[in-house]
Structure 1
Amino acid sequence: MNINLKNAIITQLTLQSVGNKLREEKNIYAGDLFHLTEREEEDLQPFFMSAFKKSSEYYKFTHYTQDVNFNVLYSLCKDIFEEKSDFVSFSDRVLDHLFERSNHPQIKAGEIFIALLEEIDIGLESKIKGIGIFKLENKNKFLRFKHTDIVECAIQKGYRLESTIDKGCLILNTLKEDGYCVLVHDDTLIESEYWKKSFLDVEYIKDNAYQTKNYINLLSNFSQEIIFEEKGKKIQTEFIGNCLQIFNSNETISEDLLEKELLENYDMVDEFKSYKKDYAENSNIQFSEIFDVSTLALNREKKKIKAEIKLDTHIQIKLDINKPESSEDFLEQGYDEERKMFYYKIYYNNEL
C-alpha cells in the first residue's frame, strides 16, 4: 500500500493533556474543538505527518479474545468513521483509555493532539479518512503550551520544524476485513510496549513489507552468526551483498529462489533451513514461502546493514554492499608465514 499524506486535511482537532496514573497526575480534557487558522494548519500538518512519511510497516488492531471489537481504540475509531459519536466525546474517551495505560513510572505526561483527517491518498479512486493521535512528551521550541482548565497552544514564529512528535499513530479507514490499517510512531524503544501493545494493542499486518523486512533481517543475522563463524568476514559481507542484489533484481522472492541463487553457492541450504525454523519460533515471525518485494521496506533495511571489515591493526576496509562482486574479484585474503599474520590484498586502478 502506498500512502500519501502530503495533501491530508485536518478537519477536526482537539488538544488535551494526559498524566501518569501511577503518579496520580491529572488529565486536562478538551472541552471543545481546537480551532486552527489556515496558517496554523500549514505548520501543524507536516509536523504531525512527518513521522509517518517513510513508514513501511503497517499494523492492525487485535485483541487476545480474537474479537477485534473488544479492542477499546478500534471500537472508538469505528464509531467516528461510522459517524456515531461526536469528536470531542471521542477524544475524551481516548484520553481516558491512554491514562489507564499510563501506569508505569517511566511513562511521561504530555500533550495530546487528536485529529480527524480527510483526503488521505492510498492509491484508490477516492480519498479516505483517518484519525491521528499525537503525543508530545518533550519541550519543543516550535510549540508552547499553557495548562489551566484547558490546554492552550501557541505556535512560535521563526522556528523550524526540526523535531517531530514523540509518539503517534494514524488509523486509516481502509475498511479491510481484518480492521483498519494503523501506522505507528514511537521515538524510543523503551516504552514501545506501552504505546503499541497496551494503548493501541496492534500487531503487524503480514504483507509484502513485513515479509521483505523480516527476510532481510533473517538473512543478515544468519550471515553474522553462521556464515561469519564458518567462513569469515569477507565471505559474510559477500553473502549479504549477494542477498540484497537478489532482492533488488527480483520482483518476487521464493524459498526456492533463495536456495538456488544464494544458499547453494555457499553450501548452506540445510544450515539456513534449521536457522530459519529456530529464528521464526524465537521471534514469533510467520514467513511466507513466496512474496513480492517491497521496495520501500528493502531500501529502509539496506541502510541498516554495514559492510565493513574491522581489523585488530586499527584498519577498516569498507565494502560496497550493492557491489558484492567487487570484493570477490578485487579483494584477496591470505596468510603470511614470515609475519605469522593474516592479510588482505586489494586490487585497483585509480584512487578516487
Structure 2
Amino acid sequence: MISFFEASLKQLSIHHTGNKLLEEYYKLSDAPLKIDDEVLGNLLMQYFLKPFEKVNEVYRFYHPNDNLELNEVFHFVHEIFENNELFHEDSQQLAKHLYDVANHPKIKSGELYVAYFEKVQIEGEQLDVVGVFKSETKDTYLKVYPEQDGFNVSYEQEAISINKLDKGCLIFNVDKEEGYKVVVLDQSKSSNDSAVYWKDEFLKLKIRNDSYNQTSNVLGVYKNFVTQKLDDDYEISKADKIDLLNRSMKYFKEKETFDIEEFGNEVIGNAEGIESFKNYKKNYEQEYESPIADNFEIAESAVKKQARAYKSVLKLDKNFHIYIHGNKDMIEKGYDDDKSMNFYKVYFREEE
C-alpha cells in the first residue's frame, strides 16, 4: 500500500532521548543533518521507509478531549507542513515530548530521527511526509577487509542495522482536519507499558474506520465468537468450529461487500446463532469504542492477513493433524467403548 520508488529525503534531524525514571537525559542537536553522500541517503531511505511496505492499517491522530491541537505530535507536525523553516525546531520539541511520556523503567533510550520526505505514495496518492523514528537496538558488526597478501578483521560496536527499525511512523500531509493519515510500526514484542507508549502515549493514534479496518474487525470478532463464545452457549465440536471459520473465510473471499444479514444466513445458518453473533459484535463495539458497520466494502488485503490466523487444523493428541478445508459432512466423530477413546471417521474418494 505504501511505496517510495520516487520518494526523496529532504531533511533529517537526529536527537537522543533517555529514560528520565532512570535519571537519563535527552540531547538535542543544534542543526539538521547534512547528507551529501548519495549512498548514505539511499541507506537511510531503506532504513526508514522499507519496513512500511507491508503495513496496511491507517491511523489518525486524536486527543481524549476531541481537540486535535492538544495532541502534541499533531501540533508540531502541522507546523512543519505549514512552515518548513520550523522543521528542526519542531523536531526538538518532538524529542522533548517523547522524553516526557517515557514513564516506564523498561523503556529504552535511543536516537530519535525526524525526517521530511517528498513523493511517498499511499493509496495511489503521492504526498509529503514527516517521519518520526526511534532506534533502540544496537548490534556489533564484523568487517573483513584486504590487507597486504591476505585479509584482516575489525568490528564496530553499538552500530545500527538498517534492517531493524525499532519504532516509526509516517505522517502524510492529507486529511488534516481528520488527524492526517498515519501509519505506525513498533517492533516491541511485549504488551506492557514499555511497549505501548509509542503509539498510545507519544503519538496518540486511533485506527481509521475504513473498509480495511471494518473487514479486519469483523473477521477478528467472528473468529473470537466461534472459538470462545460458542462454547459458553452450545456444545460444539472443534470440527464444527473449523467448518464455521472456513465458511466465513469463503464468504469474505468470494464477496465484494459485507452484509450482516446475508453473512448470518449463509455462514451461521440458524436464527439463534445469528442473534448471538450480533450481540457479541455489539458488545465488542461498546467495549472497544470501535463501531463496525452492518454493510461495507470488503478489503482483500485485510482478508489475506486474517486468513493466516484462521486455523483449519484439528489436532488429535500428538499423533494426528487433520486439515479441514471443505465439507464437514465428510468427517464424523464417535466414541469407541472398547478402547475408551474418541475417533473421527473421514470419507474421501481419492488418495493423493
TM-score range, shorter chain: 0.7 to 0.9
Deviations 1:267-301 (A, max 9, x none): 51122122222233333321111111111222111
- Alpha-carbon shift at residue 163 of structure 1 (Å): 3.6
1:19 and 2:22 aligned? no
Report the Cα distance in structure 2 between the residues aligned to 1:295 and 1:161, rounded to whole angstroms. 33
- Alpha-carbon shift at residue 248 of structure 1 (Å): 0.5
Contact 2:138 2:160 in 1 (8 A): no
Question: What residue number does 1:30 align with?
Answer: 29
Q: Return the letter of the residue paired with 1:9.
A: S
Question: What residue number does 1:73 align with?
Answer: 73
Deviations 1:142-165 (A, max 9, x none): 79xxxxxxxxxxxx8xx9967421
1:195 and 2:198 aligned? yes
1:221 and 2:220 aligned? no
- Alpha-carbon shift at residue 49 of structure 1 (Å): 1.6
Question: What residue number does 1:152 align with?
Answer: none
Q: Return the letter of the residue paired with 1:197.
A: D
CA-based RMSD? 2.5
**Between Structure 1 and Structure 2, how many residues are aligned?**
332
Percent identity over paired residues: 29
C-alpha spacing 1:52/1:123, structure 2 compared with 1 (3 Å): closer
Q: Return the letter of the residue paired with 2:92.
A: D
C-alpha spacing 1:135/1:287, structure 2 compared with 1 (3 Å): same
Report the Cα distance in structure 1 between the residues aligned to 2:176 and 2:268, rounded to whole angstroms. 37
- Alpha-carbon shift at residue 265 of structure 1 (Å): 5.4
C-alpha spacing 1:104/1:163, structure 2 compared with 1 (3 Å): same
- Alpha-carbon shift at residue 208 of structure 1 (Å): 0.9
Report the Cα distance in structure 2 between the residues aligned to 1:75 and 1:283, rounded to whole angstroms. 26
C-alpha spacing 1:187/1:239, structure 2 compared with 1 (3 Å): same
Give 1:263-342 correspondences, 5 Å limit. Answer: 263-264=268-269, 268-312=273-317, 314-319=318-323, 323-325=325-327, 328-342=328-342
Give 1:114-129 correspondences, 5 Å limit. Answer: 114-124=114-124, 127-129=126-128
Report the Cα distance in structure 2 between the residues aligned to 1:297 and 1:87, rounded to whole angstroms. 35
Question: What residue number does 1:148 align with?
Answer: none
- Alpha-carbon shift at residue 316 of structure 1 (Å): 3.4
Deviations 1:89-146 (A, max 9, x none): 121111011111112111110111211011112345x621001111111114579xxx
- Alpha-carbon shift at residue 236 of structure 1 (Å): 0.3
SS of the residue 2:133 aligns to: strand
Give 1:166-205 correspondences, 5 Å limit. Answer: 166-188=166-188, 189-190=191-192, 191-205=194-208
Report the Cα distance in structure 2 between the residues aligned to 1:44 and 1:168, rounded to whole angstroms. 13
Task: Extract structure 1 runs of 4+ deviating beyond 4 A.
Answer: 159-162, 348-352
C-alpha spacing 1:205/1:347, structure 2 compared with 1 (3 Å): same
1:45 and 2:45 aligned? yes
Q: Return the letter of the residue paired with 1:114.
A: V
- Alignment gaps of 5+ in structure 2: 143-155
